[in-house]
Structure 1
Amino acid sequence: MNRVEELIAETKLNELLRGKENEKQKNIVLWILAIVGAAAAVAAIAYGVYRFFTPNYLEDFEDDFDDDFDDYFSEDDQV
């Protein structure tokens, strides 16, 4: 009977150890995903700040082009 009890105790111990190993692997994956998520959040914030502070040169170009184009024609020339 002693041998059976030892076998049951050993089986329970193995199950506990395997459970700890699986839990460690889940913990590692969770940490990796958290780090990747934090890096993506920082990159998104940096991009947003960059877009906010960078001037839009295209708007200035379009305004200048319209002003120059209007100088060549007067209202009398229009049909």
Structure 2
Amino acid sequence: TYNPDEKRVRKLLLHKKEIKKLHEKVTQKGCTIVPISVYTKKGFVKVEIALARGKKNYDKRESLAKRDQQRQMDRDLKEKY
């Protein structure tokens, strides 16, 4: 019967210094805040967060090449059997 608004504003339970530090890194260095895990504890939903930086172009090329090789191996095995 009681359904609170799902998109309501929620509090970030950190110290002011920690919030400022996260805000600075996100705005200046191009980092993003990524949820690592979500769990419940005593009726509260808790989220572990981390700062993450995007891949460089050479890293992307390596991962694309690995993925293409794996796809080709899978195709070859499928044709063989």
- TM-score, structure 2 as length reference: 0.33
The structure with the larger Rg is 1
* Higher share in helix: 1
* Higher share in strand: 2
- TM-score, structure 1 as length reference: 0.33
